Chains A and B, each alone.
Chain A
Amino acid sequence: MPISTRLVGTLAAATMLAGLAVPAFAQSGEVNVYSYREPGLIQPLLDRFTAETGIKTNVLFAGDGLLERVEAEGELSPVDVVLTVDIGNLTGAKDRGLSQPITTPAIERVPASLRDTDKDWVALSLRARVFYVSKDRVTETALTYEDIAKPEWKGRLCTRAGDHAYNIGLIASRIELWGLDKTREWLAAVRDNLAYAPTGGDREGPKNILAGTCDLSITNTYYMGVMLNNDAEPEQKDWANAARIIYPTSADGDGTQVNAAGAFIAKYAPNAENANKLVEFLLSDEAQKLYADQNYEFPAVPSVSPSELTLSWGTLKPSKVSLVEIAAHRAEAAALVDELQFNAGPQN
């Protein structure tokens, strides 16, 4: 028995050493990034940053759980910049004390509504949550958010899980606009109009429109551009071609719900200076143009215009509900999704 005890001890010590052998990441000339964004969308930007500044980027991509990780790592965390895909994680980081003020003056390039009052986060690009409708089976050219709760859409809607950040953002904006009771009624009706229980990501909607299983999908704008130009998976061009985009409005005249992808600098960032340089770069005309032309998003810097393809989908009239107001109703929105068992699909 003592032998195996010793064996375990040796192995444990060896693994500890292996841990120590991992290079310390707090080095000059580097910046460490945790990214909620898919690597394919963000890597070209980071490559350009490295080419221009000589600062190397180390990236950890995860669709979920990065804030939890930053929190657990505490003051020893190697992360400098966190890139998020929605507003919730930006305000969430500030609320949980995980961020520090951004010092680069470049932050002033975005309108005040797109950055934190204490400069703890900044939006980098905007995306609208819109309706993709079947070119063949839908004749309407304009729709309100209220419309899709009507009985004529029974069995014709589709979207991803209700508690995904994108849908939470949409529901939270409805709560700000309509109040909790009307939103509950609306969401229950939308749930009952679904063609099937929510599955997959934002691209499943257009795919199912092509398949004929659904006529209207709630999906973010830029997927249209990403899919239309997807040479790696050309079949996605067919999905996108089956649908067209309608920018929904609210019956009272309010515009389309907009969410932001953004960045914050970690409170204990070992390379805070390089982190600010990265944020500065991401807010430069060059990077903003990349967001517009390669990712088909709306640039956060107003002087940079969206791509021509994006503009061809129509004119975006943004909702008056601000990012901060959306973030404030997140918890209520999530509770509503649970209460209505939205993810279990239609009930009536």
Chain B
Amino acid sequence: MGLPILWLAGAALTSGASGEGGLAASMLPIALRDTGGLMAGVGALAGALGLVAAWLVTHYEFPGRRLFDWALMLPLAIPTYLAAYCFTELLDFTGPVQQLVRALTGGVTSKDYWFPQIRSFSGAIIVFSLVLYPYAYAACRAFFLMQSGSTNAAARTLGANGWRTFFTVTLPLSRPAIVVGTTLAMMEVVNDLGAVQYFGINSLTAIIYSTWINRSNFGGAAQLAVTIVLVIALLILAERAGRRAEAQIVPRDSRVAAARVPLSGAGKILAVAFCTLLLAAAFGLPFGQLLYLASRRLTVASFELTAAPLVTTVTLALLGALLTVAIGLFAAKRGLGPSRPARGAIRLATLGYAIPGTVLALGLLQPLGFADRWLNGVTRWAFDWTPGLVLSGSIVALLYVYAIRFLAVSHSTLHEAMERRGRSMLDAGRVLGSRGLDLFLRIDLPTLAPALLAAATLVFIEIIKELPATLLLRPLGVETLATLVYAKANTALFAEAALPALAIVLAGIVPVILAARLSARRPS
């Protein structure tokens, strides 16, 4: 699992410190500035949106709250690159919004009236934040639900109003949850390739890509990739610290259920307006855009175009989810043991989530090729038969990269579930004479079932959305929905890809709803 990272580190070291286009590259300062700016902007905006939304749905009662409770997770189904294409299509000069502005103002060119440029740095921050705030929302929401209602109740009995309670009690207390949520969002920012390329932002990932592809400079790309791993490591440390702090803060006192305060008047209107606008902007707009574009060209050809990649994508996602959850379960079980090397190994293995798909593909292409050649050498010698590229030229490479990239998702979900479950039930089972398979089937599986399902659905969504690694590692003739949409969008034919894009979002929605439902049940 740690293979790509170690391989890249090796390549980075052997290519020399002054490798041209590598660490010494003059684009590195710009890449760091752009990546840092993007992370800070998205962290702040997505964090704020997620926090406020979570605070509203967990602390207050207002019309539509039950719907918003899970619907606010929906933007998670829209990959960042799709969001970038959709918002550009909508808000660019030739899009419907500016057409309306021109019709109203009588303007002819963009110099005749003011309109923000969507394909810009601030445009990117807004687009990223709109589809990534659910990470902050989910973390804060779960935290609020687990939190005792007593601190808020205490603040209110001491005379603080809703706003004051929010700023003096809720906000400081929920800092760890915000940190967890925003770091996840920032990791997505670092990982993204499609959107930053489309917006013309020189992020680290974009620079790595062009160093490798446009300059054919593997060593330099590897050096940059190692830089990115360091950035990620910082994020992970922040996330870990957040989680640790979270664990120490006021565990829920089961006797005091957090009561939701019914809102009235202006508060009610504000709460409903905030949630409605957020959902409309983050999900309604891009989803509606796709629906409109797809419905305009509902032809047999567009279905034919979509059908085969859809089957491929779902198959890959199912296999990948199964594999990744199985490995995650194994790792989570090992991680609970006392062995320190095991924990270190798991940390290395789960680092994959934070590493851009481009970087993983970079680190996998060569070693898989070597392994294939070695394998074929062996079989040729033993059986006079060569199976071909069984690793790098088949879906094995894809499943492998998915497992690396999303192991952290399944591992952390299962790890948390196991820690919460504790050992007592397993011990009870052992005392009653159950062992091995029996213990696994009768105690492990049933008690972990919701977590296993949640982990599998999360991985499933991620694989459907995954673009950069799939693009570089897919076998001959394999086209997924994501690669199809990318190819079309990059040749300015996005509307033709509306139906497959819609399929990505729809496939992602089902598990989002499922996962949201499951997590809604958890705290009870």
Contacts and interface: CB of A to CB of B under 8 A. Distances in A.
Interface in B367-393: 368-369, 372-373, 376, 386-393
Contacts of A164: 214
A19 B109 contact: no
A33 to B, nearest CB: 9
B215 interface: yes
A189 B213 CA distance: 26
A161 B110 contact: no
Contacts of A163: 210, 214-215
A197 B322 contact: no
A73 B392 contact: yes
A1 B333 contact: yes
Contacts of B212: 65, 68
Contacts of B436: 2-3
B389 A4 contact: no
A4 B25 contact: no
A212 B109 contact: yes
Max chain A C-beta neighbours (<10 A), residue from B388, B396, B474: B388
B209 A76 contact: no
Contacts of B303: none
Interface in A78-109: 78-79, 92, 96
Given A212-B111, A338-B25, A341-B26, A233 B492 contact: yes
A60 B436 CA distance: 46
B66 interface: no
Interface residues of A, number: 78
A233 B200 contact: no
Given A15-B396, A76-B386, A92-B216, A338 B326 contact: no
Interface string B103-114: 000001111100
B93 A11 contact: no
Given A163-B210, A200-B119, A201-B492, A76 B200 contact: no
Interface string A207-249: 1101111000000000000000000110110110000000000
Contacts of B490: 63, 201
Contact of A338 (B27, B117, B198): B27
Given A196-B117, A211-B109, A5 B394 contact: no
A284 interface: no
Interface string B3-27: 0000000000000000011000111
Given A24-B388, A60-B477, A73-B393, A4 B109 contact: no
Given A72-B369, A200-B198, A334-B214, A3 B437 contact: yes
Contact of B21 (A26, A60, A212, A335): A335
Contacts of B475: 22, 60
Given A16-B390, A198-B200, A341-B27, A11 B326 contact: yes
A98 B395 CA distance: 24
Contacts of B209: 64
A177 interface: no
A204 B489 CA distance: 12
A24 B365 CA distance: 20
A232 B487 contact: no
B333 A4 contact: yes
A330 to B, nearest CB: 9
A212 B113 CA distance: 11
B72 interface: no
Contacts of B472: 62, 65, 68-69
Interface in B181-222: 198-200, 202, 209-210, 212-216, 218
A204 B492 CA distance: 8
A161 B30 CA distance: 15
B232 interface: no
Contact of A213 (B110, B210, B327): B110
Contact of B477 (A59, A64, A211, A331): A59
A68 to B, nearest CB: 6
A207 B117 CA distance: 14
A32 interface: yes
B396 A3 contact: no
Given A20-B390, A59-B477, A331-B215, A76 B376 contact: yes
Contacts of B366: 72
Max chain B C-beta neighbours (<10 A), residue from A3, A8, A77, A335: A3
B487 A63 contact: yes
A40 B491 contact: yes
A275 interface: no
B319 A168 contact: no
B496 interface: yes
Nearest to B494: A233
A19 B391 contact: yes
Contacts of B478: 60
B292 interface: no
Interface in A3-38: 3-5, 7-8, 11-12, 15-16, 18-20, 22, 24-26, 32, 34, 38
B493 interface: yes
B394 A338 contact: no
B440 A3 contact: yes
Interface string B307-342: 000000000000100110011011001100000000
A74 interface: yes
A19 B398 CA distance: 10
A343 B216 contact: no
Given A15-B399, A76-B388, A210 B94 contact: yes
B93 A211 contact: yes
Contacts of B271: none
Contact of A15 (B25, B319, B386, B393): B319
A165 interface: yes
A199 interface: yes
A152 interface: no
Contact of A75 (B25, B26, B322, B373): B373
A334 B220 CA distance: 13
A24 B26 CA distance: 45
Given A58-B477, A210-B94, A200 B200 contact: yes
A174 B112 CA distance: 37
Contacts of B158: none
Interface in A283-320: none
Given A15-B399, A65-B212, A76 B27 contact: no
B495 interface: yes
B38 interface: no
A19 B396 contact: yes
Given A18-B319, A212-B111, A338 B26 contact: yes
B471 interface: yes
A92 to B, nearest CB: 6
A287 B112 CA distance: 46
15 contacts: A7-B326, A8-B327, A16-B390, A18-B396, A40-B493, A60-B477, A63-B487, A68-B212, A92-B216, A197-B200, A212-B93, A213-B110, A232-B493, A236-B492, A343-B202
Given A4-B440, A200-B119, A341-B26, 4 more contacts: A65-B472, A74-B369, A211-B93, A338-B25
Give me the 10 closest cross-chain CB pairs, A-B, nearest first. Answer: A212-B109, A199-B200, A211-B93, A19-B394, A72-B369, A19-B396, A4-B330, A64-B213, A3-B440, A72-B365
